[in-house]
Chains A and B, each alone.
Chain A
Amino acid sequence: MVDVTVTIRRRVEKPRHVNVDMTTKLGNLTAPDPVFTASGCAAAGQELAAYNDLTAIGGVVTKSIQLNPRAGRATPRMAETPSGMLNSIGLQGPGIEIFINRDLAWLADHNVNAVVSIAGGTVDEYAKLAGKLRGKPVSMIEVNISCPNVEDRGQVFACDKSAAASVVQAVKRAAPASVPIFAKLSPDVTDIVSIAKACMDAGATGLSLINTTLGMVIDTHTMRPLLAGITGGLSGPAIRPLALRCVWQVHQAMPEVPLFGIGGIRTGLDALEFILAGATAVQVGTVIFHDPGAPQRISRELSEALAERGMDAVEQAIGLAHRPPDVIVPELPDPPGDVLEDELYEDAVDEADVFAEDEWLEDQDV
């Protein structure tokens, strides 16, 4: 009976579709896929549903929501740059109440994992926002701390250890108990690892690396800044090496911390780079403007890339680039029999003869 079974198994064709376990754990959220949409690049998901099965990806990270409706900045809000873009939207949004009743309800109705990004001007606003999410269908809270602290001369929370930590702590206290909390860090700091540690010490479940980095474009016709907001957040493949370095550094310092890798991911191989650097999952953003079907495409490309590398689960790749240099162990032949032993011995003797004939060797004092 056993032999028969083996014979049948041998006849089964190799499956046409790669079969890689793509589930990934972010705190106590087990996501079906490591690819999420990045905040600010997917609105609240509805618009992308025509181009992606949003239940097949990890989830949608919604555009950062604030307590009150916000009109955002004047136009121009956007500028294309080499392999990237600048944006200066000013967090336009409907406010948390409309968001919960309209957008979050839509995501729940469609069984999409909702990662709610929150943004505030004071620690108290962050706490209130987190409190509003109690009892709501939220898979995770992402804290956008790249906002100016109105109580501290507009200093950005993400650029100061204690300010970042107090936001995370306040959110942790107010948020629904079981929901993972990720702090999204800015790369515009001298030491991202120290900010990362401060957020983790304050109770974050994990970290999202990275937000956009500040940039600007000057219009050479008007000879003034092109964006109405003067500076804007740079995103896209232009910042990918910078983002990857941040993920690498933070994973190296705190290998146990779940990380979202974010920044200029355009293909499955780009996503794989972040996972190898230590990301538990990735978010794709600006690429969606180029290719609205990108989230699902990147997920597919990533699973294919993992399969090609002989992996059957995405978690096998997490942080793999940090391993020590590969020791190549040559495959040993079967234990030699009598004849073989003689041959090996003869070879070894021949080689020793070659070395012995070398003048350079003979000159050494041993």
Chain B
Amino acid sequence: MSGIQVKGEVLNVKPVGEYFSMTVVAPGIAERSKPGQFVAVAVGGESGGMLLRRAFSIYSVRETGVYGGTVEFIFSVAGHGTAWLAAQRPYDPIDIVGPLGRPFALPREPANCVLVGGGYGAAPLFTLADSLRTRGCRIDAVLGASTGDRLFGALDAKRMAASVAFTTDDGSYGEKGRVSDVLPEVIERVRADVVYACGPMAMLEAVQRVASESYDGAGIPTQLSVEESMACGIGVCMTCVLPIIGNDGQTRMARSCVDGPVFGGDRIRWDALGTVPDDAVGAHQ
């Protein structure tokens, strides 16, 4: 299902630790959104020089309210576009397209789910947790970041999950290390059936390795939401591609915006990220 384009209005922008949260009144997007989907936001105003939309995972939605449906997303100020977003104020107009992309696949039967988030990449895990809980799933979480103030959603995670493990690179909060250092223990302890993760590609790769080696190499499935830079978010520009193994076993350069951003971790060609592998369909023409 395609997204819709809404000329929305900023409800609020607020700092959340090292990040910002923006809530936009965008009727129609909230009602359609599924966990793992994202929005593509135009930045810089109508006559600005920034043409490319910025894509953000949906953190939360409210279908109804005094203002109509709202969508909330989390961002980090990393350049001119996100700085412009952080400077927006309530009632400012904002052009937003969504919900976009393939959402997380959910287990048919109640299952033990481990949710892993890196930095503000954890944002889409909370609506996912809501959906999993209504299906009777057990949820355990692992959140990691470089430092304690770059952890996102610690309180939310404590509320929604049976257990939460925190890791930071500098040891300023939780265990010193990476999410993949504590993940093997969590998987074994909670008898996990599936791992969901969102964060930087290096973290996702480590999560996939841990999940595939779990239970003495039997492995468990993963659903990973990837981060690739996008220009359009709707499938027409072909810039956000990565090598993905299809149902026929062949590797193709798939678009993370419409074929993803969520992929089964076993479908991603980790050996060839950032390249076009020699055995991809149509490589080296």
Per the bound structure, the CA–CA distance linking A95 and B238 in Å amounts to 15
Shortest Cβ distance from residue A325 to the other chain B in the assembled complex, whole angstroms:
31
Q: Which of B4, B42, B97, B239 contacts A87 (CB 8 A)?
A: B239
Complex Cα spacing A51 to B42, Å: 15
Asked if A50 and B3 make an inter-chain contact with CB atoms under 8 angstroms apart, the answer reads yes
Q: A75 and B241: CB pair below 8 A?
A: yes
Most central of B53, B240, B282, B283 by chain A CB within 10 Å: B282
B234 an interface residue at 8 Å Cβ cutoff?
yes
Mostly helix, strand, loop or mixed at chain A's interface? loop
Q: What A residues does B281 contact at CB under 8 A?
A: 69, 71
The answer to whether A292 and B52 touch (CB under 8 A), given A41-B236, A68-B282, is no
Q: At the interface with chain B, which of A188-196, A244-252, A283-291?
A: A283-291
Instruction: State whether the Cβ of B147 lies closer than 8 Å to any Cβ in chain A.
Output: no
- Taking CB atoms, residues of chain A closer than 8 Å to B283 are 71
B138 CB, min distance to chain A CBs, angstroms: 37
A214 interfacial by beta-carbon distance below 8 Å: no
- Please tell me if the beta carbons of A72 and B53 are within 8 angstroms of each other in the complex: no
Task: Kindly state the separation between the CA atoms of A290 and B81 in the bound complex, as whole angstroms.
Answer: 13
Contact A290 B52 (CB under 8 A): yes
Say whether B232 faces chain A, with CB atoms less than 8 Å apart. Answer: yes
Instruction: Kindly state whether residue B217 has any CB partner on chain A within 8 Å.
Output: no
**In the docked arrangement, what's the CA distance between A73 and B234, Å?**
20
Give the Cβ gap from A305 to chain B, nearest Cβ, in Å.
Answer: 16
In the complex, what distance in Å separates the CA atom of A286 from the CA atom of B49? 12
DSSP class of B's interface residues: helix, strand, loop or mixed? loop
Instruction: Assess whether B237 is in contact with A87, with CB atoms less than 8 Å apart.
Output: yes
Also in contact, A82 and B49, with CB within 8 A (given A47-B2, A47-B258, A72-B238): yes
The answer, yes or no, to whether A236 is at the interface (CB within 8 Å) is yes
Asked whether B252 is an interface residue with its Cβ less than 8 Å from the other chain, the reply is: yes
Q: Cβ of A162 < 8 Å from any Cβ of B?
A: no
Instruction: Report the stretch among B12-20, B69-77, B128-136, B272-280 that lies at the interface.
Output: B272-280
When distances are taken between beta carbons in the complex, the residues of chain A under 8 Å from B235 are 43, 47
Check B51 against A83 for contact (C-beta < 8 Å).
yes
Residues of A within 8 A of B95 (CB): 291
- Count residues of chain B with CB under 8 A from any CB of chain A: 37
Instruction: Give Cα A42–Cα B235 distance, bound, in whole angstroms.
Output: 8
Q: How many A-B residue pairs have CB under 8 A?
A: 117
Distance of A102 from chain B, by nearest CB (Å): 14
Quick one: given A84-B51, A95-B282, A289-B51, are A47 and B276 in contact (CB under 8 Å)? no
Measured in the bound complex, the distance between the Cα atoms of B2 and A95 in whole Å is 25
Q: What are the residues of chain B within 8 A of A71 when measuring CB–CB?
A: 252-253, 276, 280-285
Q: How many residues of A contact B (CB 8 A)?
A: 43
CB atoms of A74 and B276 under 8 A apart? yes
Is the CB of B21 closer than 8 A to any CB of chain A? no
Q: How far is the CB of B239 from chain A (nearest CB, A)?
A: 4
> When the two chains form their complex, are residues A292 and B228 in contact, meaning their CB atoms are under 8 A apart?
no
**Contact pattern, A 69-100, Cβ under 8 Å of B = 1, otherwise 0:** 11111111110101111010100110100000
Most buried by A among B4, B53, B232, B275: B232
List residues of A (37-67) whose CB comes within 8 Å of B's CBs: 40-43, 47-51, 63, 66
Residue on A with the closest CB to B49? Answer: A83
Cross-interface CB contact of A293 among B5, B51, B276, cutoff 8 Å:
B5
Q: Which of chain B's residues has its CB closest to A288's CB?
A: B236
Contacts of A78 in B (CB 8 A): 52, 229, 231, 237, 239
B239–A77 touching, CB < 8 Å: yes
Q: Nearest 8 CB-CB pairs, A to B?
A: A50-B2, A69-B282, A78-B239, A289-B232, A71-B282, A70-B282, A83-B49, A47-B235
Q: List 15 A-B contacts (CB under 8 A).
A: A41-B236, A47-B234, A47-B235, A51-B5, A70-B285, A71-B284, A75-B240, A76-B229, A78-B229, A80-B231, A82-B49, A85-B51, A87-B239, A288-B236, A289-B231
Given contacts A70-B285, A75-B241, A92-B238, 19 further A-B contacts (CB under 8 A): A41-B236, A41-B237, A43-B235, A51-B2, A68-B282, A75-B274, A77-B239, A78-B52, A78-B229, A82-B49, A85-B51, A85-B52, A89-B237, A89-B238, A287-B51, A288-B236, A289-B53, A290-B51, A292-B234
